[in-house]
Amino acid sequence: MKFLKQIFRKRIETTLTITSKNGFHLRPIAKFVNETKSFQAQISIKSKGEEVSAKQVPKILTLGLEEGDSFILSCTGKDAQKASKHLSSFFKQIMKEDNLNVVEEIEQEDEEYEGSTLSGYSIAKGVAISSIVLYKKIEHKGNHKGLPLRDAIAKTQEELTRLYEANKTKDEAHIYLAQKELLNSEIFDKNFENIDREIERLIGTKFESRVADYQDLKEKILSYMGIKTELKLPDTPYILLANDLLPSEVGIIAKTSIQGVILQRGTPTSHASILLRSEAIPSIIINNSICDKGNSCNYPNAILDANSGDLILKPTESDLKKAQIKQQKFKEQQAQSYKKRFESTKTKSGKEIQILANIADLESAKEAKEQGADGVGLFRTEFLFTEVKPTLEQQTKTYAEIFNLFETITIRTLDIGGDKSLPYINIPKENNPFLGIRGIRFSLQEETLLREQLQAILVGATISNNRTNPTIKIMFPMISTIDEFTQAKNIAIEVAQKKSINIENIQFGIMLEVPCVIFAIKEFDKIVDFYSIGTNDLTQYLFAIERTHPTLTADATSPMIFSALKQIIETTQKPISICGELAGLEDATERLIEMGYSTLSLSAKLIPSLKERIRNI
């Protein structure tokens, strides 16, 4: 008994570093806090002389952890060891994901207007010409008796859960998860005084953008208590001027005749900014006073040029004409890209380029279809395995549903290791996990898991309702030797023979991400059906810099990367595509096509604009 108490009291500490350029902000904190709930352990975070609960979002927020800062993850209790290992890996993963979501600064065009011009920062591109309307709210009590506070909080939690589930594949999904975790904190335990104190504490600090989330939650709760607050908005077209917007208000104004938004507070990474971009509402931030107190802000023909970041309150006739031409041109470009998203993509010289999508689940597959993807270039299957081991039936059903959507699908077998782990499989700790048991090495070590996944893929292909008899391309990750590929393919063939599955429409290929393969392409050409270049990992291994390293970074567009890509395309005789981040970078597109690459795979939301860009090459 004494021995068990000692085990439960044992404290396991791990030092972790913030590697995201955004810092450890609300959205990744919410994901992290949500993950801590699956462990029977006391989990805390120690940094800057303070120790706070890792299960309370506001507590972690108070630490103000930014890129380069470190903290100690401390776990005590029954699941301490398991929690420490999983949460450390999970943290590195969300840092990596958050870095992919760093908001790129919009390159503002140079523009000259005759009227007096106020300059700001662009949130979402576009040009608006309309009257300016001040942000106003009206509070009124409903006719029915509202719910008690605790019940109102529960209803708000249910609402946020619905919003998260409905938007799971979109950027804004994690805003709702973040708000839900914020709502679970002790700040919302008893009354609104704690919330008001927290809001007051944040005003004037670098964390002021969080105020909108607290205010948003407060208003949601009050609405279930019978006190509703509504925006006063006109029926005619308008440009809204506000200090800031609550996340929930963006969806409301998007359904009105809104033409544009001017914020006098906030940042490009705030939740309101993210949602304004997702709704494609032309928006800018101007951090100075535009209308004095008491001024009705009577500007009937203001120009909001979010392409240049300019606001012209009293434009001349020449200004209005220029803005109207820009507005029409921008709208035509956007509409043209989306309208033509299902058309084939050819350069001006007539070279056809296939644009595929990177997907992770059924929802993202449906989004890819809607965005005009010609097929799937990378189906990441890890999502099925992250929490609990999926059954053969679950896998088969999911694969078949996705195979129904496209004629060509490249599905990658489980890619575990490095910064990705599974809670139900013990992977021994390694000093250099990115150079250890990951990708195909993990799968060949966990052969039962690989055989089951291959069976699910092969059966899923046979039961698919897709009448076009889709080509299923099975891709093995992190292949570095001929033997690894041969072993993996032979396992697939054995599974097919055992289950009497016809694999005539199945192709087998590899992720080309380990540099040694570049020097053995002629040998690999004899046995593989295709290659897909994972430029993220290829860059990592070429520069010997771990992707999640806190201080070192590798240039994804380095001449050395393009030199390697040139050598690959000039050597291989087999079909080849690019599915890493490089495929979606504007600066890289033309160079890749010039080299001879004709198949690119990227995030679905980038597909319409990339297709249109290629048509102008």
Say how many C-beta atoms besides its own lie within 10 A of residue 332's C-beta. Answer: 11
- What amino acid is encoded at 259 in this protein? Q
Report which residue type is found at 276. L
Tell me the three-class secondary structure of 241-257, residue by residue.
Answer: EECCCCHHHHHHHHCCC
Strand 238-242 and strand 132-134: the pairing is: parallel
Q: From CA 283, how far away is CA 414, in angstroms rounded?
A: 41
Of 567, 295, 613, 579, the closest CA to residue 415 belongs to: 579
- How far apart CA 231 and CA 242 sit, in angstroms, is 11
Active site (annotated) includes residue 291: no
Identify whether the C-beta of residue 40 lies closer than 8 Å to the C-beta of residue 82.
no
CA atoms 410, 414, 416, 421: torsion sign: positive
Tally the C-alpha atoms within 13 A of residue 614's C-alpha that lie toward its C-beta: 32
Say whether 228 sits in a helix, a strand or coil: strand
Q: Which amino acid is residue 253, in one-letter code? A: I
| Cβ-contact 543, 513 below 8 angstroms | no
Residue 580 vs residues 43, 76, 567: alpha-carbon distances, Å: 35, 39, 17
The amino acid at residue 174 is H
Tally of residues, the chain: 617
579 noted as active-site residue: yes
Burial 45-81 (b: 16+ CB within 10 A, else e): bbbeeeebbbbbbbbbbebebebebebebbbbbebbe
Single-letter amino acid, residue 516: C
Say if residues 581 and 547 touch (Cβ distance below 8 Å). Answer: no
Q: What is the DSSP string of 180-207?
A: HHHHTSGGGSS-SHHHHHHHHHHTTSTT
User: Among 25, 271, 297, 516, which one carries the catalytic annotation?
Assistant: 271
- Residue 293 burial (10 A CB sphere; 0-12, 13-18, 19+): exposed
Distance CA 45, CA 71 (A): 6
Residue type, 501: I
Name the residues annotated as catalytic.
271, 579
